[in-house]
């Protein structure tokens, strides 16, 4: 069974940093591209970042230069390092497995709150 379990969220002050983890089971992350998607409270979905099997990474405009995606194949875990956090980064962050053109499995979501 494919499972994605996120951790590392919580309350952080503006300008602070936080690292999210996404532990995968039931498949090897080295065989799939992996993304982070966020959802602001009561609003829609926003794609944040992707890491491809070859290691290439891309970021959405709103986080580029502040966030960094990485993976540890030995731990079967994907990370999102978030820095220079702002109030508008407050959201539920999901990791998602890419399969072909879509995200076929999602984690349960992890709330990040940026507030003083």
Using CB under 8 A as the criterion, which residues of the chain lie in contact with other proteins when the complex forms?
Answer: 35, 37, 44-47, 50, 58, 60-61, 94, 100-104, 106-109
Q: In terms of CB distance, is 22 or 114 closer to other proteins? A: 22
CB 61, min distance to other proteins, A: 7
Q: In terms of CB distance, is 19 or 45 closer to other proteins? A: 45
Residues 6+ apart with CB under 8 A from 40: 46, 88, 90, 91
CB 20, min distance to other proteins, A: 15
Tokens of residue 14, six digits: 């503006």
Q: How far is residue 5 CA from its own chain's centroid? A: 11
| Owner of token pair 């996120």 | 6
CB 100, min distance to other proteins, A: 6
Q: In terms of CB distance, is 13 or 104 closer to other proteins? A: 104
Distance CA 46, CA 28 (A): 25
Torsion from C-alpha of 48, 52, 54, 60, nearest 10 degrees: -30
Q: In terms of CB distance, is 17 or 40 closer to other proteins? A: 40
CB 77, min distance to other proteins, A: 18
């Amino acid at each position: 069974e494919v499972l994605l379990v996120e951790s590392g969220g919580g309350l952080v002050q503006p300008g602070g940093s936080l690292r999210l983890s996404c532990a995968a089971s039931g498949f090897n992350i080295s065989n799939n591209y992996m993304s982070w998607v966020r959802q602001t409270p009561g609003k829609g979905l926003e794609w944040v970042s992707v890491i491809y099997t070859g290691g290439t990474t891309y970021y959405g405009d709103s986080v580029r230069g502040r966030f960094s995606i990485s993976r540890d194949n030995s731990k079967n875990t994907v990370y999102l390092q978030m820095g220079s956090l702002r109030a508008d980064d407050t959201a539920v962050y999901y990791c998602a497995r890419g399969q072909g053109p879509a995200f076929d499995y999602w984690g349960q979501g992890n709330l990040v709150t940026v507030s003083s």
